Amino acid sequence: MSTVQSDALTFECETGNYHTFCPISCVSWLYQKIEDSFFLVIGTKTCGYFLQNAMGVMIFAEPRYAMAELEEGDISAKLNDYEELRRLCLQIKKDRNPSVIFWIGTCTTEIIKMDLEGIAPKLESEIRVPIVVARANGLDYAFTQGEDTVLAAMAQRCPSYQHVKNTDSHVPLVLFGSLPDPVVTQLTLELKKQGIIVSGWLPSKRYTELPVIQEGYYVAGVNPFLSRTATTLMRRRKTKLIGAPFPIGPDGTRAWIEKICSIFNIEPKGLAEREKEIWESLEDYISLIRGKSVFFMGDNLLEVSLARFLTRCGMTVYEIGIPYMDKRYQAAELALLKNTCDEMNIMMPTIVEKPDNYNQLDRIRDLKPDLVITGMAHANPLEARGINTKWSVEFTFAQIHGFTNARDILELVTRPLRRNLSLSELGWDVYSKQG
C-alpha cells in the first residue's frame, strides 16, 4: 500500500478490488432528468442484466432506455456497426421520437474498438436526431462517474450563441450536475437571495433547453464526481471554474454560496444565521450520532463531502474509501474537510483511493465502527455480524443538496442507529455463525 503524506490528510491507494455499481447505472437517473432523451446502452446481456436488476421496478414503467445487445456477429465484425446502429436508432425514432439519443459505450465497445464517436456524426445527419456519445464503462470508471462522462459529452453540445443580450449584472453563471428539479429550484433560489442569477444548468430538463455557454462564463459543480465535465467546460468551452466545496450539508452549502459570492464580489447576506438555524433544527438527529464513529467503504465519490458533513456533526471518520480522488477538482472540499477536523478537534481520516474490500473488512473488524456506509453487497453480511450499516447507494438517489435537504442526509445516516436502537433491547446482535 503506497502512502502519500499531504498536509495532515493521509492519502492511500489499494488494489481496486472493491464493489461498486457499473457507471452505466447513470442511465437510470439521467433518462428521468432529461425528459426528451433516449439512452441506448451498446453492450451485452451482462450490462442489460445489471440495469434491469439495479433499476428494479422502474424497468416496468417503459423507460426511455434500451440495450443495443451485441451478438456474436457484432463481436466478430460480421455485421456492420453503422448499419446495425442505424436500424436500431430509426426504430427508436419511430417509436419514441426523442430530441436526442445518447449512446452509452461499454466495456465491450471499448475492447472491440467500435468507433462510436466516428459513427455518430454521420448517422446523426442521416436520421436527423442528435446523437451524443459517452463512454461510461467499467474498465475506466465507477458508478457516478458515468454521469460525468455523459455531462462532459453534453457540455460540447451546449449552444454558444445567445439570441438575447445578457442583461444580468454579473458574468453569467452556469451550474453543472444532474439534480432532481426541486433541488435545482432550491439551489437557484439560494443564490438568487444573494443577487446571483443562475443562467443555466447542465443538464437541463430537456435536451432542447441546454444552456448557452460562452467563453468567459463562470461554472460551478454541485457534485464531487464531475471532474471530466469540469475539465471539458474549462478547456473546450473556455469557462472559468469556481472551485468550491459542494453544497452538501449546511456547512457545505454555506461554503459553496460564499465561494460563488466571492467570485462576484458580493458580500453574502444572512448566511451565518441561515446555517445556524439549520444546525439547530438538526439537533435531534445530531444528538444520536455525536461522538460516534463512521467508516466509508467507498463506491460513489460522494464520500469526502459526506465525511466532512458528518465530522461537523461530531462524528469521527475512521476511513474514507473512494473509487477515484481528483485532488484538483475536490481541492476546496478537501481543504474544508481538513479545516473541519481541526475545528472539531477530531482525528483526520485516511482517504483510501481504489480500496480493497477484503482489507477494509479486516479493518472494520478491528475498528468496530458505529456505522459503516457501504454498498449492498456487504450491508446484510455486516448487519449479521452486529455492525450498523447504511447503503451508500441511497445517498445517490436521495435529495441531499442545499440547506433544505440537510435533514434528509441525517434521516438516512441515523436510520440504522434508530432502528437498531429499538431492536437492541431484544439482545440478539449477531446473526451469522461465520466469523
- Contact letters for other proteins, residues 178-217 (x by CB under 8 A): ---xx--xx--x----------------------------
335 membership: H or E segment, kind and range: helix 331-344
Residue 136 vs 153, nearer CB to other proteins: 136
Nearest Cα to Cα of residue 208 among 134, 139, 132: 132
Between residues 84 and 370, which has the closer beta carbon with respect to other proteins? 84
Q: Are 70 and 45 a contacting pair, CB within 8 Å?
A: no
Q: Residues 93, 170, 327, 407: which binds other proteins (CB under 8 A)?
A: 407
Neighbours of 211 (CB within 10 A): 20
Q: Is 261 annotated as a binding residue?
A: no
Sequence-distant (≥ 6) Cβ neighbours of residue 342 within 8 angstroms: none
Q: Segment near other proteins (CB under 8 A), from 13-21, 115-123, 227-235, 334-342?
A: 13-21
Q: Which phi and psi (to 5°) does residue 20 adopt?
A: -155, 175
- Span interacting with other proteins, options 199-207, 262-270, 306-314, 376-384, rule CB under 8 A: 376-384
Residue 3 is placed in which grid cell?
A: 502512502
Question: Between residues 31 and 217, which has the closer beta carbon with respect to other proteins?
Answer: 31
For residues 93 to 122, the per-residue mask of contacts with other proteins, x marking binding by CB under 8 A and - elsewhere, is --------------xx-xxx----------
Whether 89 has a binding-site annotation, put simply, is: no
Q: Do 224 and 307 form a contact (C-beta atoms < 8 A)?
A: no
Q: Is 47 annotated as a binding-site member?
A: yes
Shortest distance, position 68 Cβ to other proteins, whole Å: 5
Kindly give, in sequence order, each residue whose CB lies less than 8 Å from that of residue 230, ignoring residues fewer than 6 positions away.
176, 219, 221, 241, 329
Burial tier of 304 (Cβ tally within 10 Å: 0-12, 13-18, 19+): buried
* Dihedral sign computed on CA atoms, order 143, 319, 221, 180: positive
Q: How large is the angle between the packed helices 331-344 and 249-263, nearest 10 degrees?
A: 130
Nearer to other proteins, 114 or 337 (CB): 114
Of 229 and 405, nearer to other proteins (C-beta) is 405
Please report, as residue ranges, which positions from 18 to 77 form the binding site for other proteins (by CB under 8 A): 18-23, 42, 44-46, 48-50, 52-54, 56-57, 59-60, 63, 65-72, 74-75
Q: Which is nearer to other proteins, 27 or 337 (CB)?
A: 27
267 belongs to the binding site for other proteins (CB under 8 A) = no
The count of residues interacting with other proteins (CB under 8 A) is 77
Known binding-site positions for [4Fe-4S] cluster: 22, 47, 107
Known binding-site positions: 22, 47, 107
